[in-house]
Amino acid sequence: MKIDVLTIFPDFFDRVFDFGIIRRAKLAGIVDISVHDLRGFATDKHRMVDDRPFGGGDGMVLKPEPIFAAIENLIGASDRDRYPPKTRVALLSPQGRPLKQRIVREFADDSDHIVLICGRYEGVDERVNEALVTDEISIGDYVLSGGEPAAVVLVDSIVRLLPDALGSETSAVYDSFSNGLLDCPHYTRPAEFRGMKVPDVLLNGNHAEIEKWRHEKALEKTRTIRGDLLTGENGEM
C-alpha cells in the first residue's frame, strides 16, 4: 500500500512513522509512506497556501490550487471520477465521518493508494471536497489545530490491519471494536502480584472455558464503559 500525506507542517511527521508496527511494515515493504509539503505545490513567489474566506469571518482557508496540483502530481488526475481503482483521497476534518473500526477496515481492505489531506485553519476550500475527496474523516467530536494528529491515527489504525503487518493472522481479530465489543482483560506473569491473582480459568488450559470467559468479560466491560455500543446509540462499528 502507498500512503501520501499532504501537510503544511511536514516536520510534524519527523520520525513519527519510524516506530513499532509501522516501522516494521515499512521495512518489510508492506506500506510506503511519504509526507509532502503542500507549499511545494504553490506557484506564487510567497508559496501561499491559504487566504481569507469569501463572505468575511475569522481565520484563513486552505486554497484549492496547491491541493489540486498536489493530487494531480501524486495520482495523475485531479478528478475523483478518474482516479485509478482502489485510490482514496481522505480529508481529515471535524466535519467528517466519525472514524470507526469498520471504516479502518474499508481503507485497509479496499485501498492500494491513499492520500491524506491535513486540514488547517478554518478548513479547506469546499471545491477540494467536491472534486477530489473520496472520504472525509473525523477522529472525534472535538477540534484540533490541524489534521496532522488525525492523519497519524488513521495511518496507524490502517497499517496494523494490512496482511503480515502484525506478524500474526489473529492479532487484530480480537482487538476492541473488531466484534462490536471492547477487548477483554489480559494478564501475564507473575500469576500473583501484591495479592492480586490471575483468574484461575486462564491457568487451567481449557481453551473453550477461556474463550467463554473472555467473551463474558468483554461483554461486561463494554456494558460498563461503553453501553452505547450495545444499544446502537453510537452507530455502527
pLDDT digits (tens, 9 = 90+) for 188-209: 999 999 999 999 999 999 999 9
Kind of pairing between the strands at 50-51 and 61-62: antiparallel
Question: What would the mean pLDDT of 1-22 be, rounded to a whole number?
Answer: 98
pLDDT of residue 60: 95
How large a percentage of the chain has pLDDT more than 70? 93
220 is catalytic: no
Give the Å distances, CA to CA, from 221 to 73, 138, 216: 47, 25, 9
Residue of 4, 50, 136, 160 marked catalytic: 160
Residue of 72, 175, 183, 220 marked catalytic: 175
For 26-50, write each residue's pLDDT tens digit: 999 999 999 999 999 998 888 999 9
- Residue 234 clears pLDDT 60, i.e. is over it: no
pLDDT of residue 235: 45
How many helices (H) does the chain have, and how many strands (E)? 7, 9
pLDDT of residue 237: 46
Please, what is the average pLDDT of the chain?
A: 93
How large a percentage of the chain has pLDDT more than 90? 87
Question: What would the mean pLDDT of 100-125 be, rounded to a whole number?
Answer: 96
- Residue 170 clears pLDDT 60, i.e. is over it: no
pLDDT of residue 45: 87
122 is catalytic: yes
175 is catalytic: yes
pLDDT of residue 171: 59
- CA–CA distance, 140 with 119 (Å, rounded to integer): 15
From first CA to last CA, the distance across the chain in angstroms is 24
Strand partners, 5: 35, 116
Question: What would the mean pLDDT of 86-101 be, rounded to a whole number?
Answer: 96
- CA–CA distance, 111 with 92 (Å, rounded to integer): 17
Q: Could you tell me the sign of the dihedral formed by the alpha carbons of 90, 96, 100, 102, in that order? A: negative
Q: Which domains can be identified in the chain, with CATH numbers?
A: 2-159 (3.40.1280.10), 174-237 (1.10.1270.20)
The per-residue b/e assignment along 3-38, b for 16 or more CB within 10 angstroms, e otherwise, is bbbbbbebebbeebbeeebbebbbeeebbebebbbb
Residue of 65, 72, 122, 183 marked catalytic: 122
Alpha helices in the chain (DSSP H): 20-27, 64-75, 101-110, 126-131, 148-159, 207-225, 228-231
189 is catalytic: no
For residue 121, name the pLDDT band (cuts at 50, 70, 90). Answer: confident
Residue of 53, 94, 149, 185 marked catalytic: 94
- Residue 149 clears pLDDT 50, i.e. is over it: yes
